[in-house]
Structure 1
């Protein structure tokens, strides 16, 4: 069985907390391919990116680094609960930096995987960081598109104005700011009582708000006054020209409001990669791919050989 080692390393001006998932019979004198695993929005390193995908990849013989995003989980950075795409992508680059310092990691055989928002962040990182040699997105969601559409209820100009007002309030009284928002209802029952029917919202709530996926640092909350950077961000910018690494996109066949299904097909069609694959796990949804045994196993029968071939 694989093992986990907790590590810390420096980002810009704060420490990043991460878990290194090491293969069975790990030998510090050997050389291994490595993978950066990036967690979803509102998640943490102990959830799906770590306890499901990093574990499976470590069991398959890879060294896997799963980090808490800056301003989230056990990582540093103030104020807390910021979700900034530029910084999330930078976190991936610093993770590669760290892996390249480890004597047992082959610096030329580093790949990356991400789940949900982490999947699109991983793709964006790979567009301009070609130290990443192979990329997998698990039910990846383009956060810029999602915030302009779903979060803004298709009124992005109004949302931009609201964020500007919140940022002014935060600047003038940061200690009294009240704009930290939980992105999900408190329970599935509360969601249904409020008339919510979207499969992604209901299943996200069931994952994050129950014992199924709940972890102390999986906060599902966000400081809304700091979301302005996401409004103009697009995970797939320049993918046609600069995304040339081998790419695997995994999505469920059941679409939901967060848009992983459409985003998956979009990046698959746009990527400039000569080797690219899309895996549609039939009969399953976005959150089934977080931890449900059958769809995860189906995905990994493709993901593990993909990384073994290209790393």
Structure 2
């Protein structure tokens, strides 16, 4: 594995480039861009699980940190900005096509959770990406609009964000909140109930199972408005034509990847598309649990073999 950087506008995007066993610089290889979930980093699911397994199968893989996050550059920090995260994919393709050993006609993308939503959106307008896999893809815009379970919650949040931006414009410090509660106790206190996705998110991100310093659970409050009016699947029925493999678990939770998977399948224009529902798997089982990831690869392996 090689640590590399490529440009998005004026800053560097940090990435891990993995090369297959017995790599030969004189050959041309298919390449797959791997995108991490919201709040995650390249050292977690996208890199250590999915990219590594694809590299073991003979692909060049590129797992990157989103701009403003992890080891990537961009200011302000801890910003979750959908248009920029989509642009990260285009810049990743720009980087791959400069590598002599990458076959520019065989570049694919795989995204997990929010990274899957971003991957779908990027693939619509980046047709150098020839095949797409989404794993528990979540539409971040939909989640921001509906995540508080009340129809007008997003309007209240936009009011709060506007006040915070005004405060920062007048010289006050930025407010950095969290993506998820830091403990199960915080979850119960905040919501009064527990949800499988949130409970398992805490178990993944805040314990040795998946914790990583480049995934600090920090989110800039003043940047939240960008996602509220954004739809990861907007124009999929017109622009998403590439072969598409969607993977979800059948245990639904608050993040909504189960319903988002079906929506993306229905909306995508792709003639070659498939939806796998992994029985008994939750959103986070498909991050790193072997029984779920193994079933996902029963589809991913032949999909990329046949379409790249």
User: In structure 2, what is the equivalent of residue 160 of structure 1?
Assistant: 158
Unaligned stretches of 5+ in structure 1? none
Structure 1 residues 50-87: Cα deviation after superposition (integer angstroms, max 9, x where no partner): 10000010001110101111000000011100000000
User: Which of 287, 293, 297 is the aligned partner of 1:300?
Assistant: 297
Distance 2:23 2:142 in 1: 41
The secondary structure found in structure 2 opposite 1:280 is strand
Superposition TM-score, scaled by structure 1 size: 0.96
Maintained 8 Å contact 1:41/1:220? no
Distance 1:129 1:108 in 2: 12
Aligned-partner Cα distance in 1 for 2:113–2:269: 21
2:83 to 86, 90, 94: 86
- Alignment-derived partner of residue 188 in structure 1: 184
Aligned to 2:73: 76
Q: Name the SS for the 2:302 alignment partner.
A: helix
Query: Distance between the aligned counterparts of 1:271 and 1:197, measured in 2?
Result: 33
Deviations 1:14-69 (A, max 9, x none): 01110011111111221100011011111100000110000010001110101111
The CA distance in 2 between the partners of 1:219 and 1:125, in whole Å, is 25
Whether the 8 Å contact between 1:181 and 1:224 is mirrored in structure 2 is yes
Name the CA distance, whole Å, in 2 between partners of 1:55 and 1:154: 41
Q: What secondary structure, in the 3-state scheme, does the structure 1 residue paired with 2:97 have?
A: helix
Compute the displacement of 1:153 (Å). 4.3
Cα RMSD, aligned residues only: 1.2
- Cα offset for 1:116? 0.3
Deviation at 1:157, TM superposition (A): 1.6
Aligned to 2:35: 38
Q: Tell me if structure 2 keeps the 8 A contact 1:196–1:202.
A: no
Instruction: Compute the TM-score of the two structures, normalised by the length of structure 2.
Output: 0.97
Report how far residue 154 of structure 1 moved. 3.2
CA distance in 2, matches of 1:164, 1:186: 26
Q: Specify the SS of the correspondent of 1:61.
A: coil
After TM superposition, the structure 1 stretch with the greater mean CA deviation from structure 2, 59-68 or 158-167, is: 158-167
Equivalent residue pairs, number: 306
Task: Please say which of residues 76-85 and 219-228 is displaced more in the overlay.
Answer: 219-228
Question: Structure 1 residues 150 and 188 mapped into 2: Cα distance closer, same or farther (>3 Å)?
Answer: same
Q: Which residue pairs with 1:115 in the alignment?
A: 112
Who is 2:241 aligned against?
244
Matches within 5 A, 1:238-277: 238-277=235-274
Q: Partners in 2 of 1:153 and 1:171 — Cα distance? A: 30
